[in-house]
Amino acid sequence: MGTVNLENKTILITGVAGFIGSNLVKKIYQETPSAKVIGIDNINTYYDVTLKESRLNELAKYPGFNFIKGNIADKSLVMELFEKNKPTVVVNLAAQAGVRYSITNPDAYLESNLIGFFNILEACRQCDTLEHLVYASSSSVYGSNKKNPQSIDDKTDNPVSLYAASKKSNELMAHAYSKLYNIPSTGLRFFTVYGPAGRPDMAYFGFASKLVKGETIKLFNYGNCKRDFTYIDDVVEGVIRVMKISPDKKNGEDGLPIPPYAIYNIGNQKPENLQDFVQILCEELIQVDVLPKNYDLENHKELVPMQPGDVSVTYADIDTLERDFGYKPSTSLRTGLRKFAEWYAEFYK
Ligand SMILES: NC(=O)c1ccc[n+]([C@@H]2O[C@H](COP(=O)([O-])OP(=O)(O)OC[C@H]3O[C@@H](n4cnc5c(N)ncnc54)[C@H](O)[C@@H]3O)[C@@H](O)[C@H]2O)c1
């Protein structure tokens, strides 16, 4: 595997106003202040734009950070961005996320996740400074597999949502481009990332907002879902380690490149039951006075059937991540939800 030095290098990050992207920029500047980060985001209205703007405001304090408002589905814009900035590392996080939204708004997934990602690949193909393309995939590619934990060697050809299909397509497209044009690429299958200033469309955030308003929360699959909740700091630590080590470029016996291509899971390796998760979330929201001390959780939850597009269990096998990067996420759900609750209390006070 090759080493990629980030000192004084240009790093292009798409989806930079997003939850993972904005945290990644902060971490890059904590570790490598000499890096030049170019961030692009179309600041779409899928969820509260003020949250995206507040994340960007925090990034404005880094002198080496440049923000471009734009859509990665705009090919000429993407080409121009690459030509002008000549990135060494590209991290593609821009995507239409969310499983349930893909049932009602499929077009958004085609535009951002397929056309957008294709444009990134095309630009990478023509970028002679590029040393590593890292892109977000998702645990959703495991679909309705019954085997746990979920390993990168498992079959991933039975997606149960268009979102999952679009992420699997990204992995396949990256493979073809790695093979054809010798582009070192690494896909990361993230498992339910959570934390402060996270995504309001995700369950932990939506539950908090509903509980605060005294509304009832719905626990799908009658509360029997399990999720491998992975804390944001652990995820960005993993992404940075991966950025710095690229898959090797080698030729095969036929003289053609063996694709410098890799896929890793980034997950906490500890699936949590939804009922336990809600209990901890509620306790932590009480602790920061967002919910009253005598809050009656039992009266605010409803057990309902599974939703189309959802999977019942996610559970990451991260043996290869540990082997190649000497790293595994470790933040406990209690610690992570405490940080989320503290942020929530402050942001919405
Ligand atoms: N958060 C998770 O639990 C999780 C799990 C698995 C995979 N992922 C993937 O990780 C990536 C980052 O996720 P996140 O949680 O930070 O999501 P996010 O929605 O907070 O961030 C994505 C950002 O991309 C931007 N964007 C979307 N389409 C765009 C386009 N066409 N052009 C430019 N910008 C665009 C959005 O405005 C948003 O700010 C996504 O690819 C997502 O699918 C996230």
At residue 180 the predicted structure's pLDDT band, cuts being 50, 70 and 90, is very high
pLDDT tens-digit profile of 129-163?
999 999 999 999 999 899 999 999 999 999 999 99
Centre of ligand 1 to C-alpha 17, Å, is: 9
* Angular region, 227: left φ>0, alpha ψ -120 to 50, beta rest: beta
3 state SS for the chain: CEECCCCCCEEEEECCCCHHHHHHHHHHHHHCCCCEEEEEECCCCCCCHHHHHHHHHHHCCCCCEEEEECCCCCHHHHHHHHHHHCCCEEEECCCCCCCCHHHHCHHHHHHHHHHHHHHHHHHHHCCCCCCEEEEEEEHHHHCCCCCCCECCCCCCCCCCCHHHHHHHHHHHHHHHHHHHHCCCEEEEEECCEECCCCCCCCHHHHHHHHHHCCCCEEEHHHHCCEECCEEHHHHHHHHHHHHCEECCCEECCCCCEECCEEEEEECCCCCEEHHHHHHHHHHHHHHCCCCCCCCCHHHHEEECCCCCCCCCECCECCHHHHHHHCCCCCCCHHHHHHHHHHHHHHHCC
Query: Considering only CA atoms, which residue is closest to atom 13 of ligand 1?
Result: 20
Query: Considering only CA atoms, which residue is closest to atom 35 of ligand 1?
Result: 94
Assess whether pLDDT exceeds 90 at residue 168: yes
Mean of pLDDT over the chain: 96
Beta bridge partners of 231: 194
Q: Above pLDDT 90, what percent of the chain? A: 93
For residue 183, what are its two tokens?
């582009």
Question: What pLDDT does 63 receive?
Answer: 95
- Exposure class string for 133-168: b at 16+ Cβ within 10 A, else e: bbbbbbbbbbbeeeebbbebeeebeebbbbbbbbbb
pLDDT tens-digit profile of 72-99?
999 999 999 999 999 999 999 999 999 8
Question: What pLDDT does 31 receive?
Answer: 97
Question: What pLDDT does 309 receive?
Answer: 78
Assess whether pLDDT exceeds 90 at residue 311: no
Pocket test for ligand 1, best of 166, 193, 242 (most atoms within 8 A of CB): 193
Pocket test for ligand 1, best of 12, 13, 16, 20 (most atoms within 8 A of CB): 20
Q: Which residue numbers are catalytic?
A: 163
At residue 310 the predicted structure's pLDDT band, cuts being 50, 70 and 90, is confident
Centre of ligand 1 to C-alpha 299, Å, is: 34
Beta bridge partners of 91: 13, 134
CA torsion through residues 111, 76, 190, 319, sign: positive
In contact, 239 and 281? CB cutoff 8 Å: no
One-letter amino acid at 233 equals D
Pairing of strands 250-251, 257-258: antiparallel
Assess whether pLDDT exceeds 90 at residue 126: yes
Question: What pLDDT does 234 receive?
Answer: 98
At residue 308 the predicted structure's pLDDT band, cuts being 50, 70 and 90, is confident
pLDDT tens-digit profile of 226-281?
999 999 999 999 999 999 999 999 999 999 889 999 999 999 999 999 999 999 99
Centre of ligand 1 to C-alpha 295, Å, is: 33
For the chain, the structural domain boundaries read: 2-194+229-269+315-330
Question: What pLDDT does 66 receive?
Answer: 98
Query: Considering only CA atoms, which residue is closest to atom 18 of ligand 1?
Result: 18
Pocket test for ligand 1, best of 100, 142, 189, 190 (most atoms within 8 A of CB): 190
Query: Considering only CA atoms, which residue is closest to atom 34 of ligand 1?
Result: 41
Atom of ligand 1 nearest to the CA of 73: 31
Q: For the chain, how far is it from start to end, CA to CA, in angstroms? A: 48
Q: The domain 2-194+229-269+315-330: what is its CATH number?
A: 3.40.50.720
Query: Considering only CA atoms, which residue is closest to atom 30 of ligand 1?
Result: 71
For residue 181, what are its two tokens?
């044009």
Centre of ligand 1 to C-alpha 72, Å, is: 12
pLDDT tens-digit profile of 32-81?
999 999 999 999 999 999 999 999 999 999 999 999 999 999 999 999 99
| Residues within a 6 A CB radius of ligand 1 | 14-15, 17-21, 40-44, 52, 71-73, 93-97, 112, 116, 136, 138, 190, 192-193, 199
Assess whether pLDDT exceeds 90 at residue 349: no
Centre of ligand 1 to C-alpha 127, Å, is: 24
Pairing of strands 89-92, 65-69: unpaired
pTM of the model: 0.97
CA torsion through residues 216, 222, 224, 227, sign: negative
Centre of ligand 1 to C-alpha 96, Å, is: 6
